Amino acid sequence: MADENISDLIERYLKEILADNEQVKIRRSEIAGLFDVVPSQINYVINTRFTIQNGYIVESKRGGGGYIRIEKVHLLDDIDVLNSLIDAIGNRLSKRDSETIVQTLYNNDLINRREVGIILAAIDKDAIDLNNSDLTDIMRANIMISILNRLRYER
């Protein structure tokens, strides 16, 4: 417990609030001031400790009245399939492989027919085409991973 750098302290501070609340809404500069660090360190703490893998989602808004909101989400129990699918996708994902993944999701009752349609529309070749099949496969991988991560929790 005594091994604490400032990022750890900030993490602990936020998680203590999250122990009693579903979410924290902060003003970045305030927290930075509280711990006497530069504002961007708050981003560092968030990026390293409040990821979706840890069960947190983060929203923010800039400008007057801006904020950062961290929300704890409930990760589902049976997400092994999702996790292994995420792990299996590398940087690129072919159309064919993406269809296999969607089929797997459907077979495992992780998505319904309608959701199959939506996901296939989201990664549709024409939609994400960039005149560069390499880029298209990268884009497809990114989108698929983002969706799989979303399926890992419910709100």
Residue 87 binding result from its own copies, DNA, none, given CB thresholds of 5 to 8 Å by partner type: none
146 binds, among its own copies, DNA, none (CB under 5 to 8 A by kind): its own copies
Amino acid (one-letter) located at 16:
E
Give the nearest distance from C-beta 9 to its own copies in angstroms: 9
60 binds, among its own copies, DNA, none (CB under 5 to 8 A by kind): DNA
Q: Which stretch binds DNA (CB under 7 A): 1-9, 82-90, 114-122, 143-151?
A: 1-9
Residue that has been written with the tokens 């529309």 in this structure: 121
Q: Is 70 exposed, middle or buried (0-12, 13-18, 19+ CB in 10 A)?
A: buried
Looking at the chain, which runs of residues are DSSP E strands? 23-26, 56-61, 67-72, 74-75, 153-154
Nearest to 37 by CA among 4, 7, 70: 7
37-66 residues near its own copies, rule: CB under 8 A: 63-65
In angstroms, give the least distance from the CB of 138 to its own copies: 8
Contact present, 7 and 49 (Cβ < 8 Å): yes
Measured CA to CA, the distance from residue 101 to residue 103 in angstroms comes to 5
Residue 121 touching its own copies (CB under 8 A): yes
Token couple for 142: 């990114």
Binding site for its own copies (CB under 8 A): 3-8, 27, 63-65, 67, 113-115, 117-124, 126-130, 135, 138-139, 142-143, 145-147, 149-151, 154-155
What is the contact surface with DNA in residues (CB under 7 A)?
A: 3, 5-8, 26-29, 37-44, 47-48, 58, 60-68, 94-96, 131, 133
